[in-house]
Amino acid sequence: MNKPIRPVTLGVIVGNRGFFPKHLCVSGREQVLATLKELGINVVIVPEADTSHGAIESLTESRICGDLFKSHRDDIDGILVTLPNFGDERAVANTIRFSGLNVPVLVHAFKDVTSEMSIAFRRDSFCGKMSACNNLRQYGISYSLTSEHTMDPSSPEFKQDLTDFAAVCRVVKSIRGARFGQIGARPAAFNTVRYSEKLLERSGISVETLDLSELLGWIKPMTDSDAIVKSKLEEIRSYTETSRIPEDRLIMQAKLAVAIDRFVNEHELDATAIQCWTALQEFYGVVPCTCMSMMSNNLMASACEADVAGVLSMFALQQAALKPAALLDWNNNFGDDPNKGVVFHCSNLPKAFFADHQMDYQEIIAGSVGKENTYGTIVGRVAAGPFSYARVTTDDIQGRIRAYVGEAHFTEDTLKTFGGYGVFQVNNLQKLLQYICSEGFEHHVAATRANVAHVLKEAFEKYMGWEVYHHA
């Protein structure tokens, strides 16, 4: 299953103030809309004829724009405030208040041109942006800022700001209303993956649970010749190298995947966390890693060891980057280099992470449940390149959600081991490890192959109200 990603839609407010040049609102509106169209961002904006020059200044115009946004509340993911001239700070704040929307807001101001500073062309957006932000703060409206105080809307830097803001909007909208599935209980030995459903629910995240016995019950009446099983089997064969795997175990993997798909579809789930050991191996006979790898690779994040907070971390990274995310262990030091280490899982990593991969058996638990019951891992070396990492945790003691985020690099260093693994490098790694341990974070960390840590910090901290440490 590959969940479609809907394009981001922004409500656009063009600010205006009467004694500044109104023609700048007309040309500024056109420039901003052209940039948004170029980036594939959908727009909700008042028709130019409905207000003076298609901008917002008066109380009446704030009502018109606010009502328009309200009528598109299910479509709008964020709001862009753009100031071609000074702008009316009350009109900006009133419009957002009247809309009733609780979405991310980006405030942008146009640059003045030093050769055009006469009364006919001077913008004063530099100053007006401060007034607009002051009023938003007074109104209790959270907002984001562009990377520079004033910016040309056609510049590459502003386009990157809009791209990042769209990612913030995706993360916030997807988390508020996310539906996760937990299949099975957490492994008994893993207190570390405990979490609070209630704290997640307060942030808009619901968790549906399914006992492993029910999942296995759905599998029991399936036959090897069922069309849906045969189709899933072919999907698995085309996903990775399976020549080492006994045929009966491949069919069992296919049936397991069909059952998981049923749970996902019936409960309209966005991601899953699965009790991956050892009950499935003892009472069914495979590991679920291939199913989980395939889901994560198709942007349906799936975390092992019933780590729901871990899959939330994966889900947020995935939404920010629009790329697959994986759950890893911060697992080993790498020689004596204080800024390098080894990440590892058994593994269910999406194939998008690997330099090479194949299906194999799970070496760690094969000794206790038998090799024949542990086929289904996706193993190989993680390809070199940049990545972002994140970990969200529910702090039940303090009644809050906390997170850390950062960026790192998978290296080319040689390493001979098993499972899914890679060598990574993080600047000032020892400081990060000190933070993880002193703050009691889990050993699991989510990663995606893109630089989006700043996006998660903005989304988590400013709009979700979570406490965030950004390891820069």
331-372 confidence digits (pLDDT tens): 999 999 999 999 999 999 999 999 999 999 998 888 889 999
Whole-structure pTM value: 0.95
The mean pLDDT value of the chain amounts to: 95
Task: Count CA atoms within 13 Å of residue 284 on its CB side.
Answer: 31
Domains of the chain: 9-175 (3.40.50.10940), 179-471 (3.40.275.10)
The answer, yes or no, to whether residue 1 has pLDDT greater than 60, is no
Task: List, for residues 2-60, the tens digit of each pLDDT value.
Answer: 556 789 999 999 999 876 667 889 999 999 999 999 999 999 999 999 999 999 999 99
Once rounded to an integer, what is the mean pLDDT over residues 107-130? 81
Once rounded to an integer, what is the mean pLDDT over residues 214-243? 97
SS3 265: helix
Ordered DSSP codes for 364-392? HHHHHH-GGG-EEEEEEEBPSEEEEEEEE
Per-residue confidence (pLDDT) for residue 3, from 0 to 100: 58
Residue length of the chain: 472
Q: What are the tokens at 317?
A: 């990274």
| DSSP bridge partners of 15 | 56
Cβ-contact 14, 55 below 8 angstroms: yes
Q: In what order do the strands lie in the sheet with 9-14?
A: 42-44, 9-14, 78-83, 105-109, 144-145
Burial 122-138 (b: 16+ CB within 10 A, else e): bbbbeebbebbbebbee
Give the DSSP H or E segment for 295.
helix 289-297
* Residue (of 160, 202, 96) closest to 452 by Cα position: 160
Place of tokens 């974070």: 441
Once rounded to an integer, what is the mean pLDDT over residues 262-284? 95
